[in-house]
Amino acid sequence: MHTLHDRSRFRRWRAAVVAVAVAIQVSCGGGDPSEQPTPPANPAAITAISTTTLTGTAGLAVATLPSVRVTSSSGSGVAGVTVTFAVTSGGGSVTGGTATTDANGVATVGGWTLGAVAGVNTMTARVALLNLVTFTATSTAGPATSVTISPTIAAAAPNAFVNFVAQSQVGAPAPATWRVNGIVGGTQALGLISAAGKYTAPRTIPDGDSVVVSAVLASDTTQRSASTVFFVPNLATKNYYVPIPRVVDTPHPQPMRFLLVPPEGVTAVNYLPSAGPAVPLTDIGNGVLSFQVDAATALVGYQIGTLHNVIGRLDYRTAAGTSFQITNLSVNVRDATMPDVVVTPVAADAQRSPYVLNIRVDTATINAGTQVVAHALQLLGGDRFDFVDVVASVTTNNNRNYVALRNDITGIGVGVFDNSAIAGGTGRLRGMISFPLDGFFDGAELGFIHEAGHSWINFATDPVLASGAPHWPASTMALGVMGLSIPASGAGGQFPWALTPIGHDSVRINRATPNSFFTPLDLYLMGLIPTDSVPPVYVLPLTIASPLVDGMQSPATTYTIADYVAKQGPRVPASAAAPRTFATAVVVLTYGRLMTESEMTFFDMAASRAETIVLLRSTAGLVTVDAPGFFLATGRRATMRTRLP
């Protein structure tokens, strides 16, 4: 599906221009070069020198602190290098997350407190421009104690509050010392907690997706209990959910927790799994609901190599118990066909793999914005792309959409314009594409191809074709990748009907399977075939009776390429001079943290599939479909590069 962005609705964006001052150090003087200090070696590698596989107790610190060594190309340790340790899954927390290597090139994290819920925890150590090192800790539930903390799981946003209560085993208040990530009273960066147990979240989300709040019994410091506080970007944005982690990793399975912020007017949400009874979501405070799915359950029915798996539905209910909406719930799956990728830091808020740029934004960013795109282009070395595709930081049920930023083609129904500078464009960038729903992101699948097609289709101004803009009206073109515009909404939909001319300006309508390939008229508008390769097309009248019936006959308008050229003018540049190689940058947004290696591996594979030259299989919603990629969708006439420079 697609949100309407036709010629009359091009978005005009205003973005702040951020000037970056570059300081150049100039040395003056005439000392003897032989007396100059030896320049420090450049970091070339980072490796773990402590074990990367740990065990521990939920809610407590690990006994063995993760430690790494940074070396030069000669293998010697490099001193003075900043190493950043960050929790990437499991709901744990870190202290002393920024460490500097000693004379031997060694850096050690200050402390790692595991999440309050037993399971798998991961932490990464990173140095700019080097690969990540990942540490994995499996925690088990601790022994019963004489103090319990309530709530055991909570949700917060920047500046929000959570009230905790410590109780004895008999339910009486238990005097306790409160800590955040092991620090008594917390900190401004992690959030502060009062002696009475009131936790105040910081102004910005701490590194990671959560912190651990613990109560230590005043009379016996060996007795303690812990709770995990998960973060959402803010309390104002509604109707989205966040999976933690974002990917089910089949080689390293762990439970997946969902944080869900329902729309206004919804008071209860049930998870309806594909099999089994409904599961009510737990209210964890500040308007956030939560539930957990184990990896084995999330993988039931998954087909290897299809990227996604529908695990059930979300049933939203009002206070009166009436249904507000029901939506499908799918998960991203990293399976054995996806080998590890190299993940490289590129900035404090960004990292990249061969095919994906991951940017931390700390907001509920749903649609691509010019500031995000401009930042991405800056990180990737400038305007080297025709399109920038942005996968949202949270998951919603919004439609994909394309926003045009530049057009240099005449004869397709829209004038020449260039607004790309507001998104960092300097002459190549044509548009930006939003993917608000992870479950439909796949470079080889229809959606990815369809949105790129909106750079050329459909801007016709004649009444026969304009009625379907920005897609096609009910016609022979609508059976292809661009589909038709659903009446009254403009959103894209499928047209599962073939039209066969039977003479006398009439056609026979027969049920057909929509395909993921561009039609000849599409290819002409894209500059991939000349006018003499476009056969006549047939367009049904707007007043045709609905629903259509297999085998029915209908009047139809016969429309030729000569009709198109007569109204819009010839395409310039013509197919002989039009480009056939295009490039897309895929940007995945996250809040609170950057993605784990497993998550990067999944999205890297999903983005790389845009370059396929063979037919693949993909799960799109409830069905598994053929996914041709751009090359096959254009009849082997054009390529789409998604590998980043």
DSSP symbols for 414-425: S--EE-GGGGT-
Q: Is 377 helix (H, G, I), strand (E, B) or coil?
A: helix
pLDDT-derived band of residue 40, with 50, 70 and 90 as boundaries?
low
% helix / strand / coil in the chain, to the nearest 5? 10, 35, 50
**Is the full-model pTM beyond 0.85?**
no
For position 582, what pLDDT does the model report? Answer: 98
Q: How many CB atoms lie within 10 A of CB 566?
A: 11
What integer pLDDT is reported at residue 37 of this predicted model? Answer: 42
**Region of poorest pLDDT, from 111-120, 310-319, 354-363, 567-576:** 111-120
Q: What is the pLDDT of residue 14?
A: 31
Please report the pLDDT score of residue 194 as a whole number.
Answer: 97
| Average pLDDT along the chain | 89
Q: Nearest to residue 433, comparing CAs of 297, 631, 582?
A: 582
Name, in order, each residue with C-beta under 8 angstroms of 226's C-beta and a sequence gap of 6 or more.
58, 59, 60, 113, 116, 149, 212, 213, 214, 215
Give the tokens for residue 12. Answer: 């005009």
At residue 566, the pLDDT reads: 96
CA distances from 322 to 10, 326, 329 (A): 38, 11, 20
Report CA 66 to chain centroid distance, whole Å.
Answer: 29
Q: How far apart (Å, rounded) are the C-alpha atoms in residues 626 and 619?
A: 9
What are the distances in angstroms from CA 571 to CA 410, 458, 472, 526? 6, 14, 19, 9
pLDDT in tens, 325-383: 999 999 999 999 999 999 999 999 999 999 999 999 999 998 889 999 999 999 999 99
Of 606, 560, 587, nearest in space to 440 by CA: 606
Distance, in Å, from the CA atom of 225 to the CA atom of 247, rounded to the nearest integer, reads 29
- Does pLDDT of 142 surpass 90? no
What pLDDT was estimated at residue 16? 32
Calculate the dihedral angle through the C-alpha atoms of 25, 27, 33, 36, rounding to the nearest 10 degrees: -60
pLDDT in tens, 93-102: 887 788 889 8
Give me the amino acid identity at 212: V
Tokens coding 428: 């190549």
Q: Is 394 exposed, middle or buried (0-12, 13-18, 19+ CB in 10 A)?
A: buried
Give the span between the Cα atoms of 513 and 623, in whole angstroms. Answer: 13
pLDDT mean over 40-61: 88
What distances in angstroms separate CA 500 from CA 532, 536, 620, one per listed residue?
21, 11, 29
What CA–CA distances, in Å, run from 604 to 33, 439, 631? 47, 15, 19
pLDDT at 6 over 70: no
Q: What is the pLDDT of residues 462-487, one digit of tens each?
A: 999 999 999 999 999 999 999 999 87
- Give me the pLDDT at residue 491, please: 85
pLDDT value of residue 512: 96
Per the CB < 8 A criterion, the answer to whether 120 and 138 are in contact is yes
Instruction: Supply the pLDDT for residue 151.
Output: 96
HEC string for 288-349: CEEEEECHHHHCCCCCCCCCEEEEEEEEEECCCCCEEEEEEEEEEEECCCCCCCCCEEEECC
- Cα gap 331→598, rounded to integer Å: 14
User: Between 85 and 11, whose confidence is greater?
Assistant: 85
Tell me: cis bond preceding 470? Omega within 30 of 0 counts: yes
Contacts of 393 (CB under 8 A, 6+ apart): 233, 361, 363, 364, 365, 366, 589, 590, 591
Instruction: Extract the tokens encoding 415.
Output: 């004038």
pLDDT(436) > 80: yes
- Calculate the CA 23 to chain-centre distance: 34
* pLDDT of res. 545: 67
The reported pLDDT for the residue numbered 145 is 65
- What pLDDT score was predicted for residue 60? 84
Contact 266, 427 (CB under 8 A): no
User: Positive or negative, the Cα torsion across 438, 442, 446, 448?
Assistant: positive
Residue 316 has pLDDT above 90, yes or no: yes
pLDDT (tens digit per residue) in 228-286? 999 999 999 999 999 999 999 998 888 999 999 999 999 999 999 998 899 999 999 99
Contact present, 439 and 330 (Cβ < 8 Å): yes
Return the bridge partners of 623, or none. Answer: 620
157 vs 13: which has the higher pLDDT: 157
Lookup: tokens for 373: 């795109």
Half-sphere exposure of residue 131, counting CA atoms within 13 Å on the CB side? 14
Q: What is the pLDDT of residues 180-224, one digit of tens each?
A: 999 999 999 999 999 999 999 999 999 988 999 999 988 888 888
Of the pLDDT bands very low, low, confident and very high (cuts 50, 70, 90), residue 26 is very low
Instruction: Tell me the C-alpha distance between 452 and 640, whole Å.
Output: 10
Residue with tokens 């407590």: 60
Q: Within 10 Å of residue 509's Cβ, how many Cβ atoms?
A: 21
C-beta of residue 553 within 8 angstroms of C-beta of residue 502: yes
Mean pLDDT of 286-308: 95
